[in-house]
Amino acid sequence: MTDSRTEILEKVRRSLGSASPRSESKSEDEITKHYEAIARDYNHSGKLDLQSRLDLFAERLRDYGASVHRCSGEQLSSVIAKILADRQIHRILVPSGIPASSLTSAAIEFIPGSNNLTYNEMDKMEGVLTACTAAIALTGTILLRHSPTEGSRAITLIPDYHLCVVFENQVVETVPEAIRQMEQSRTLPMTTISGPSATSDIEMTRIKGVHGPRTLDVILAKG
């Protein structure tokens, strides 16, 4: 039986291809050929139908401790208002690209999440509402490229609460599918979210909100 160390080293060798990392300097063409020779025998696309894909995505999110709300496009504004009311949130940051038709509650003050806000001002907000670029069912991951509907990286990390709208047609099954979907915006910064922020680095005690919002609500809407 192969021991764990041998198995791990063999996987490293396969990923590096035929060339050794200690070999002499190589030309750009040789580096390109070496890169193209790396085995890529993982799943490049999913096999689940839409409903199974969405169910898997929702299941992963709940496993991570996020709350999931499913609705139609027509119900979106009322669902946003209900979630925020249930959370007793009255002031929330909103990126400039979020359509006004989604922000209809008179009981909630929607604050434009502009670049003029200081970190301290962001920290005093009760939360942030954003859209997303894509989502991965298999890993329960939401991807942000910080477009006008997603806001800056700072406003998605500093407030303690994040309400994210994911449309059904944005959910793919696997990581390679999501990476291909990101190709056109590959020069933009990307934030990946897999549940509320949490860590167990300190004395193996789980602490929420260390690297981002401690509470995540996701609306999975028909688009």
Q: Dihedral (C-alpha) 15, 17, 21, 24: value to the nearest 10 degrees? A: -160
Tell me where in the chain the CATH 3.40.50.10420 domain(s) lie: 50-221
Instruction: Quickly tell me which residue has 């998605």 as its tokens.
Output: 156
Tell me the C-alpha distance between 190 and 186, whole Å: 9
* φ/ψ (deg, to 5) at 100: -60, -25
Beta bridge partners of 13: none
Instruction: For the domain made up of 50-221, give the CATH fold.
Output: Rossmann fold (3.40.50)
One DSSP character per residue, 141-197 reads EEEE---TTT--HHHHHSSSEEEEEEEGGGEESSHHHHHHHTGGGTTS--EEE-SS-
CB 15 within 8 A of CB 39: yes
Put residue 70 in one of left, alpha, beta given phi > 0 → left and psi -120 to 50 → alpha: beta
pLDDT of residue 2: 60
pLDDT at 167: 97
Confidence check: pLDDT of 124 > 60: yes
Q: For the segment 8-18, what is each residue's pLDDT rounded down to a tens digit?
A: 887 777 776 65
Question: Starting at the edge strand that comes first in sequence, how are the strands of the sheet with 134-136 ordered?
Answer: 171-172, 134-136, 141-144, 191-193
Average pLDDT over residues 104-125: 89
The 10s digit of each residue's pLDDT in 145-198 is 999 999 999 999 999 999 999 999 999 999 999 999 888 878 888 999 998 887
pLDDT tier at 209 (50, 70, 90 boundaries)? low
Q: Quick one: pLDDT band at residue 43, thresholds 50, 70, 90?
A: confident
Percent of the chain with pLDDT over 90: 61
More confident residue, 199 or 96: 96
